[in-house]
Amino acid sequence: MYLQKSRELVDTVERQLPQIQMAADWFARSILAGRMVHIFGSGHSRIMVEEMWPRYGSFPGFNPIVELSLSFHNLVVGANGQRQAMFLENASGLAERILRNFAVRPADSAFVISSSGCNLVPIELAEGFQKRGLKVVVIISRKHSEASPSKHPAGKKLQDFADLVLDTGAPVGDAMVHIAGLDTPVSPGSTIGGCLLVNAIKAEVAARLVAAGQPPKVLTAAAVVGADRATKIFEAAYDEHAHRLARLYAEAGT
């Protein structure tokens, strides 16, 4: 049941190849300019942020913005629980507090992920990026977003502050499988669609960096390149990330 539904998500992603390539053009341009692609996701959307960088098969040029208060909810209840995270995700002004930490410039670009596209912090963050002159790419589950009410006071949704919108293909409510005798569906799909989109873009960006004569430092397992080379790549990639990030911190507040 779930596997068949997942194949449908693959088809949805494949149909978005032109949009994927456009996003890769913008992201590669930022990285080649020595700048960063800022990635944000709250709640379970942080999975896509970490999928982009840092993990095996990924490379520097991306600034993963993960606020633990919005995503560290594995305790479920009690301190640092899900209720607080869901409340904070709709706290107006928090996005600007997050952006205040970085010297964001128009040469950067932004990548914001939210399944519903209706929670306030991702919306305000995308709005803040656009106001600063960045190209903004978003991932939503379009059917789910269109069926959901926005928490924005003007009814705006994440896609209203995007230069490019990508769709995970997940259904309304995210869960994809209906079981006889159970009146609510199970097994969500937005993570599968989101990770497909993220990695498709990653591959396209890498191809553009190679074509430009600046091949990326791709985190690679020792089983592939040997222990010594793997260590050298990791250290060089982390150093590059630190140097890129230093530029964002050095001019913060200006």
CA 116 distance to own-chain centroid: 14
Please say if the pLDDT value at position 88 is more than 80: yes
Residues 6+ apart with CB under 8 A from 1: 177
Amino acid 252: pLDDT:
86
Residues 6+ apart with CB under 8 A from 110: 37, 38, 39, 40, 125, 126, 129, 134, 135, 136, 137
* pTM of the predicted protein model: 0.95
> CA distances (Å), 172 to each of 15, 157, 190, 224, 240, in order?
20, 16, 10, 40, 40
Amino acid 235: pLDDT:
98
> Residue 174, SS3?
coil
Amino acid 172: pLDDT:
97
Domains, the chain, ordered by start: 2-250 (3.40.50.10490)
**E strand or H helix at 51, and its extent?**
helix 46-52
212: pLDDT confidence band, cut at 50, 70 and 90?
very high
